[in-house]
Amino acid sequence: MKKINTSPISGMQELLPGKQAIFNQLLAEITRVYHAHGFLSIETPVIDRTEILLAKAGGDTEKQIYKVVKTAETADDADQALRFDHTVPLARYVVEHESDLKFPFKVTQIGRNFRGERAQKGRFREFYQCDIDVIGRNKLPLGYDADVVATAYEALKTFVKPEILVRVSNRKILGGLLETLGLAEKSDVIFGIIDHAEKVPLEKTHAAYEEEGLNAEQIKTLEDFVEIRGTLEEVMPKLEEIFAHVGGETLREGIDELSFVLGNLEAQGLKGKVIADMLIIRGLDYYTGSVFETIIPEYKEIGSICSGGRYENLAGYYTDQQLPGVGISIGLTRLFYVLNEYGLLDDTERKVVDYCICPISENEYAFAAKVAAELRAEGNTVDVIYAGKSVGDKLKYAAAVATKGIVIGESEVESGKYEIKEFA
């Protein structure tokens, strides 16, 4: 009988061993692909200075950060909290170790982050994020924007079975458009409206524009603009038409950058799998150029499973050195949760143990250990069952945990030979 509540705190992932093995397999696949593309692993501490973590934060982040209470023996330290993403500690890491790193610095961080959000189904307070970033010194070529997208796409394809679609845009396009429409001052609000547009009915977005005092022509321009999506050859004529109409340097830059990134990705065989989409904004984030979101079109309701973008300056709060970067992140805990809910995981609960050896009595332990060592040397996973009163008990355990069983009794020890029993 339980004496106290032993469930994990709400919002924390806790899996049974069979599901954990699948989760770990996904982590391993993502890591393998990231490494194959030349990204180097680093790990930053889970606990960091609050001053660092909140240097540029505000809003939700500040409300959701988990502060850590110093102990008697750490009382002299700076105020501390748990990291809520990988980007902020990465900024600190790059500034701290700058002289020891090669630039462009291609880096991957895979681990748990923490946000004390309201508990709700499918949302996690402790969650794995699988990030890649490329950090430049002073400048960073656009080739890397395509690089991170192509890498993340390949990683996702190792385990997401339905089609996936990466939607790419460039914030300079909408930014430039708003400048020329004389709406630069309202750009934060309008970015926010468009960022939400997919989640609300059209009329509501229309009403929101009107509330901000936009005139009918401005609204028409924006409503037409966010309809632009497709391959390079589909979207470029429409974007060039807008440019011909309104002009402007920022808009030009945005169109050229998008054209370069999308063209590069299509040349890599991702035409139609990565598309331009003017609805993509990445909310109030700190992105300044390319932005990416990824959906499973068959299951749009899942939302973005992998997103990112380019930032002009990674660590402006910590250093005067200009460090532009581009990054993308797979939110694996949430993605695993929804794939599991939708039955999209390959969860034929694989037995991870190949052989279970069943010595009948203590007299056979030594020979059982020898057989186990030989099988392990061939690359098998091998358990030896020491519990169970009868051979039947032992075989029942063996069949539950392993795909094959080996009974070791007196005659096996004598002959040095044994039979392998395949379990159904």
Site for its own copies in 289-348 (CB under 8 A): 317-321
Q: How far is the CB of 252 from its own copies (least distance, A)?
A: 18
Interface with its own copies in residues 256-285 (CB under 8 A): 260, 264, 267-269
Cα separation, 32 vs 38, in Å, equals 10
Residue 424 touches its own copies, criterion: CB under 8 A: no
Residue 352 touches its own copies, criterion: CB under 8 A: yes
# of chain residues touching its own copies (CB under 8 A): 116
Indicate which single residue of 6, 348, 390, 415 sits in contact with its own copies (rule: CB under 8 A): 6
Indicate which single residue of 54, 80, 235, 278 sits in contact with its own copies (rule: CB under 8 A): 80
Judge whether 69 and 95 are in contact, CB under 8 Å.
Answer: no
**In the chain, what is the straight-line distance between the N-terminal and C-terminal CA atoms, in Å?**
34
Q: What are phi and psi of 105, to 5 degrees?
A: -90, 110
Q: What are phi and psi of 373, to 5 degrees?
A: -65, -40
Cα separation, 355 vs 402, in Å, equals 6
Indicate which single residue of 281, 384, 395, 406 sits in contact with its own copies (rule: CB under 8 A): 384
Cα separation, 89 vs 85, in Å, equals 8
Indicate which single residue of 44, 231, 288, 304 sits in contact with its own copies (rule: CB under 8 A): 44
Instruction: Map residue 342 onto helix, strand or coil.
Output: coil
Nearer to its own copies, 136 or 303 (CB): 136
Q: Which residue stretches of 48-127 are H helix?
A: 50-53, 59-64, 87-96
Nearer to its own copies, 292 or 318 (CB): 318
Cα separation, 293 vs 329, in Å, equals 10
Judge whether 230 and 169 are in contact, CB under 8 Å.
Answer: no
Per-residue b/e over 217-252, b at no fewer than 16 CB within 10 Å?
Answer: ebbebbeebbebbeebeebbebbeebbeeeebebbe
Distance of CA 87 to the CA centre of its chain: 12
Residue 409 touches its own copies, criterion: CB under 8 A: no
Using the rule CB under 8 A, give the single segment among 93-101, 200-208, 219-227, 280-288 that binds its own copies: 93-101
Indicate which single residue of 369, 409, 418, 421 sits in contact with its own copies (rule: CB under 8 A): 369
Nearer to its own copies, 284 or 366 (CB): 366
Q: How far is the CB of 202 from its own copies (least distance, A)?
A: 31
Interface with its own copies in residues 389-408 (CB under 8 A): 397, 400-402
Instruction: Map residue 360 onto helix, strand or coil.
Output: coil
Residue 231 touches its own copies, criterion: CB under 8 A: no
Residue 366 touches its own copies, criterion: CB under 8 A: yes
Q: How far is the CB of 370 from its own copies (least distance, A)?
A: 8
Interface with its own copies in residues 108-167 (CB under 8 A): 112, 114, 116-119, 125-126, 136, 139-144, 146-147, 150
